[in-house]
Every structure is written in structure tokens, then in C-alpha cells.
Amino acid sequence: MKFVDEVSIRVKAGDGGNGCMSFRREKFIENGGPNGGDGGDGGSVYMVADENLNTLVDYRYTRHHEAQRGQNGGSTDCTGKKGEDLFLRVPVGTTVIDASTQEVIGDLVTPGQKLMVAQGGWHGLGNTRFKSSTNRAPRQTTPGKPGDQRDLKMEMKVLADVGLLGLPNAGKSTFIRSVSAAKPKVADYPFTTLVPNLGVVSVDRWKSFVIADIPGLIEGASEGAGLGIRFLKHLARTRVLLHLVDLAPLDGSSPADAAEVIINELAQFSPALVDRERWLVLNKADMIMDDEKDERVKEVVERLNWDGPVYVISAIAKQGTEKLSHDLMRYLEDRADRLANDPAYAEELAELDQRIEDEARAQLQALDDARTLRRTGVKSVHDIGDDDDWDDFEDDEDGPEIIYVRD
């Protein structure tokens, strides 16, 4: 199944049914009173989180969704039938955004959670509603109100406790294979991971956590290069990041340089994401001698001014992976206890989560806008240098001058 984590759709709630104008017509009753019924309410549109789904591919080709309209009112005070609500099932971890205002309507983070995204129209009133002592034969009705219509953008973010960061071929997929039952593709060339992979790490019989592997980052990723930038948003909901560094790169490059590249790209994508709890994991330690290994570890730590946890492992040989898994489980348990007992800490983390969400969304939107401008052959004013001729940005003399501006 194709992995799709972003889609745009249009939803339309059902219109309300119209009220009916009717009068009693029975034998031996000369002047029957009004008996027109009300219309039915239109159906609403809801998003429902379904834990059995893991992609938004169902909405990639079906973009328009409309709830049922309410029936019109009938005679003999019959009320029209209410339109059936429309339930759109999405994966757990989906964020629903109003495409026109960029307002976040809601997050679906628990199985079975429902979110109304379009309210059905109210019913119209029949002429029975307007009868009075001075108006015995009202000929007034009201039409049903139109249902809400919205253009929505849905973003799916995988829900994982631990996220993996690193350059291509840093050993992220090998690591997730060694600590869980997940079997992502592993090969000796870059970008073997094309979509996020999830694995459940069982530390004890009753203890486990979820780890997420995203495509590797490369230099220039924050400007749209490579694959990983589009999946960095999936790390927004993780609790701790593991920064994997290859101690023995095949091209002979410096591990310290590789580690620095990831830090720089992370900071450019989302400064708040840099503040997320992050552990340094130096992988492929079995491929170099001990003295050289110690020297490379020291170089990476000093280059990054690292003062956090450092682990030296070999994912393929499963050296050090068990200790790392137990330490992660212990950290996640301590974090959960502190969240439950320390309101200030919980508020601080909630604020950090929101900052990461906002920065990631703004960065990806800017990349999409820039890509659209390039596709249409239009330059943003921010891309115009001193050497550019402004005459190139004028239309023909017959039409108005148009300058495209990106705020």
C-alpha cells in the first residue's frame, strides 16, 4: 500500500430541508388550518480516528465528500428526515487544518476520537410554526440553511515514543531491525528507506515502546533536498530523538562532520525540535579498532559540544542495543511520572510540542510555495538579487504590472 501522509479534500455538510406549506383538506371540514411540517437537519461531516489505518491514500483520489441533505417537510405536520452524518475514517495521529485560514481544527490522537469538521444546515420551518390568533392561515415558510463547506488539509504524523535521525546509511534501519520485529529494507546504498517505518521494542514482558525510522537527511534538506525533510514532521510527536552517527563511513568522511550536518539541518527546519530530548548514538563501532573508535567518539563529542547521553553501539552485531533500549524505557517511564506529578513540566512540554508543530508546518508550507513558484516560472521577491532586472517581472504593456510577493 502506498504511504500517503498529506492530502487536501473538500467536505460539504448536508443542507437543511425546506419547510412545507400545507393546509388540512378533509371531508366536512371547510377551512382546515395549516399543517405544513418542518424540514430535516442536514447531515454533518465528522473525522474519526481509526487505529486500523496507517495511510491517507483513500483520500488521494477521492477529494470531494458530501453528507446527506435533510428531507423537506411534509403535510399533516410531518417533519422531514434528518440527513445522515458522514464519517470519514483517518489514521490515528492525523491533524485536520482549514486550508483557507491555516487554522488547526483538531488533532485525532486517540482511537475512536471524533471531530466535527462541517456542521449540517438547520431545518426550515413549515407554515404551522407561523399560525397565531391573528394569522389563522399563514402562508409563510423558511428554507433550510446550507451546510458548511470547507477545504481541508490533512496531515498524518506517526505516533512514536522514539524517533531516529541520521544521514542515509547511518544504520537507522539496521538498528530498528535489531531491537524490534520490524523489517525495513536494508542495503548498501543511500535512501533505502523511502517512508517512515515503525517498530515496537519489547523491553520486558509488560513494557514496550514504539520507535520510528524516517528517511535519512542530507545537507540542504531544510531547503527541500532529499526525502527526509518531508518526514521530519513525524518526529514532532516523539518523546526522545536518537541521533545516529556512522563511525565508519564508506566514503571516508568525518563522523563529526556528518553529525554537524544533521544538527544544522534540524535547526534550520525547526529550532524548537533541537530542544527536544536528544541522545547521541554512535553506530558501527565493530568496524574500527578500539583506539581509533575512542578518537572518533571524542572528536564527535567535542565538535558538537555534547553534554547529553552518548552510546557507542553496533546495530548489526547487537552490541550495546539492549542497554540503550532499557535506558530508553526507563527514561520514558520517568518522563510519564513527571508529567503526571509536575504541572509546570507538563505545561513546558506542551508549549514545546506546539512550537515544533507550528514551525514544521510553516517550513513545509514555505517549501511547497517555493516549489509552486518554480513550477510556474515565477520568482519570489525574496529570491530576486541585485543583478536581477525588474523589467523582467513586468507584463506586457497592454496589461497591468504584476509583482508576486510572498509574505
Q: Residues within the annotated binding site for GTP?
A: 166-173, 191-195, 213-216, 283-286, 314-316
Up-side HSE of residue 44: CA atoms within 13 Å toward CB?
Answer: 10
Spatial CA neighbour of 61 closest among 5, 2, 9: 9
Greatest CA separation for the chain: 111
Known binding residues for Mg(2+): 173, 193
- Helices and strands in the chain, H and E counts: 6, 14
What single-letter DSSP state applies at residue 135?
-
Q: Crossing angle for the helix pair 290-304 and 255-269, nearest 10 degrees? A: 30
Q: What's the N-to-C CA distance of the chain in angstroms?
A: 38
At residue 117, what is the residue type?
V
Q: Which three cell numbers stand for residue 185?
A: 529494507
Can you say how many angstroms the Cα of residue 363 is from the centroid of all Cα atoms in its chain?
Answer: 13
Select from 59, 69, 86, 226 the least CA-distant residue to 155: 59
* Those residues with Cβ within 8 angstroms of residue 314's Cβ, 6 or more apart along the chain or in another chain: 283, 284, 285, 286, 287, 320
Give the three cell numbers for residue 78. Answer: 410531518
Secondary element (H or E) of residue 105: strand 104-108
CA-closest candidate to residue 167, choices 251, 293, 289:
251
Distance of CA 290 to the CA centre of its chain: 43
Q: How far apart are CA 140 and CA 131, in angstroms?
A: 9
**Spatial separation of the C-alpha atoms in residues 158 and 231, rounded to whole Å:** 10
CA nearest 216: which of 186, 236, 237?
186
Distance CA 286, CA 300 (A): 17
213/215 Cα distance (integer angstroms): 7
**Residue type for position 183:** K
Helix, strand and coil in the chain, % to nearest 5: 30, 20, 50
> Which segments are annotated as binding site?
166-173, 191-195, 213-216, 283-286, 314-316
Phi first, then psi, for residue 303 (nearest 5°) are: -65, -40
